[in-house]
Chains A and B, each alone.
Chain A
């Protein structure tokens, strides 16, 4: 607890810069990743991140020093080359998108490994720390690094805000964007630029693979909470920042635990929770909704059939066999449905069978009425054959709302008290009913 308090208040100066850097990095890459996510090109980040290894090493070989700015420049150049190469392969050969990504990724990374092993063999001592670019080493973050992250965040923020409208137009409606003269090339270039920028400064802190994960996972998680552009950017950035904060905490409180991987575990957990429990789009909500809908449809079918049987003069008492003649109910399903209806007070048990209560009869009749109205509508307005309308209406009866019903009646020129149960026989031939 004391450790947590110390971490929370940032009293330990060693941890201050680490936390600041990683939170900024998480936030920026979360937001930047959203653009690639929305263009359905999330894996570009993976290729760019791997492709930066040779750039870092060549920069080191040329300059002979481990100046972070020089190495970042090298990384950015080779990341940019990798994007150009992927484009060249996809446009000039029959090899398609993701194969091109995989080819460029593996070749650049292989070249990087060649350079790394060469350097390790030659520059003993001086080169140590270069392999941080593969796995990352957040603990080595210095005040200068957090300043660099702050600058990158500001730059990305300015670029995104300045081009906000164009970005949105290109992502959601490229044709429209073209028609109003937004250059697609420029905006795609901008997205690539901010992607490269954030990856090139981030790989030293969290490593190559973790960096691409920071671009992919936060927007994926954020997507479950919103379907609008700006909230997506903000939520995604927020998730990235929170994950960075949590990851840094784990590595602070436990000995020899890496920050990058824990950040990814944290953001993955956020994504899993979002996928399961987010309102509206979460799996649990959707499952529940589906179940409720199924239950409602079964109940409505049962009530409707019972009402129809009454209208046909088959008596008020009904059993599963009687209902199943028109609407088949399996025994298990019947038991469950009838139990719910009894609980709701729509059906009452009478020694050998069941009978509708007043409430249940009204509800069933209403469903039947909607069914008939939809049949009439399909016949008159859609010119559908009488033989086809029944099946269509079987589904629609569960979804017609009173408002739509009123509109349909108005359009058909029927009064709102129109009761098809009494009048339907003149509209639908008996063959259809039977």
Chain B
């Protein structure tokens, strides 16, 4: 039963972050996912310190604030400060991450938090936090992740046309009066929330594997957005199942194994797309 819940959790993380990764990929800003997954760290720590627990609400608030702040700072540095855009991103997220690490070391004793758990996460602990529902012991993270998946699907499909137009043709979108910045900030806030929801199970840095790799695999196979989302879901299911068994075999980190497995799937897609030409 534990295996089942772990695989389900991995699948939920992969499929919800994958949808966002899709948009990041189409907007050519996958490294922004990397930046956000590092930059939310101080938000997580401060939320822990304030609430004193791993309660979700302050954590989400912290994530959204950090996500918007990071996006704003990068935007500000590159437009007002005239920094090269990649350098602005690199400066902002490494700075925030450094602050986060300092806070973690400073307050490690006071809150139930340490750097390893934030960075690696541990899927193996997921089944320990069960609550009973319809006679089934459903782990709490599964509920949160189901909520996240629903939330992301809602954002994605209600704004489908907007995402399409602002991703593929931002110039045109601006010219017909669509506020591209609002879409941009929404995506960044959603990515930060997804990072934070997932970090407990897969860790803050490995979230990037879940954000980018499924989307890139799908993109190698097709250009059509609906089909891409289906491939992302399949990819999430296959990689988390295979990853679980790999970790069982090697006695290693589950989230790391899932990341490796999803890279293997990416390589298959890569070779396939090469052959197809």
Q: Within 8 Å of chain A (Cβ to Cβ): is B7?
A: no
Mask: chain B, 256-277; 1 = CB below 8 Å from A; 0 = not: 1111101100100010011000
Mask: chain B, 93-121; 1 = CB below 8 Å from A; 0 = not: 01101110110011000000001100110
Contact between A216 and B260, CB atoms less than 8 A apart: no
Contact between A92 and B31, CB atoms less than 8 A apart: no
Mask: chain A, 67-108; 1 = CB below 8 Å from B; 0 = not: 000000000000000000000010011111111011101110
| Cα distance A212–B98 in the bound complex, in angstroms | 12
Q: A110-B256, A216-B94 are in contact. Are A103 and B101 (CB under 8 A)?
A: no
Contact between A107 and B87, CB atoms less than 8 A apart: no
Contact between A93 and B212, CB atoms less than 8 A apart: no
| Cα distance A103–B219 in the bound complex, in angstroms | 13
Q: Within 8 Å of chain B (Cβ to Cβ): is A275?
A: yes
- Set of chain B residues within 8 Å of A122, measured between Cβ atoms: 251
| Cα distance A111–B116 in the bound complex, in angstroms | 16
| Cα distance A115–B250 in the bound complex, in angstroms | 9
Contact of B28 among A41, A96, A258 (CB under 8 A): A96
Q: Within 8 Å of chain A (Cβ to Cβ): is B83?
A: yes
One of A16-24, A264-272, A341-349, A360-368 contacting the partner? A264-272
One of B8-16, B47-55, B60-68, B202-210 contacting the partner? B202-210
Q: Within 8 Å of chain A (Cβ to Cβ): is B224?
A: no
Please report whether the interface of chain A is mostly helix, strand, loop or mixed according to DSSP. Answer: helix
B111 to chain A, nearest CB (A): 15
Chain A interface: which size bin?
Answer: 35 or more
Q: Within 8 Å of chain A (Cβ to Cβ): is B247?
A: yes
Q: Within 8 Å of chain B (Cβ to Cβ): is A121?
A: yes
Contact between A257 and B102, CB atoms less than 8 A apart: yes
Residue of A89, A107, A260 most packed against chain B (CB within 10 A): A107
Contact of B259 among A101, A110, A134, A261 (CB under 8 A): A110
- Set of chain A residues within 8 Å of B120, measured between Cβ atoms: 113, 117
Question: Chain B: how many interface residues by the 8 Å CB criterion?
Answer: 62
Contact of B30 among A101, A114, A286 (CB under 8 A): A101
| Cα distance A265–B92 in the bound complex, in angstroms | 11
| Cα distance A271–B92 in the bound complex, in angstroms | 10
Contact of B98 among A99, A116, A131, A213 (CB under 8 A): A213
Contact of A212 among B90, B216, B258 (CB under 8 A): B90
The residue on A at minimum CB distance from B25 is: A99
- Set of chain A residues within 8 Å of B213, measured between Cβ atoms: 103, 106-107
B261 to chain A, nearest CB (A): 9
| Cα distance A2–B48 in the bound complex, in angstroms | 36
- In addition to A107-B262, A258-B102, 9 A-B residue pairs with Cβ atoms within 8 Å of each other are A37-B84, A94-B273, A95-B25, A102-B208, A106-B208, A106-B211, A116-B253, A135-B101, A209-B94
| The 8 residue pairs across chains A and B that have the minimum distance between CB atoms | A110-B259, A213-B94, A113-B256, A106-B209, A216-B90, A107-B263, A264-B98, A114-B256
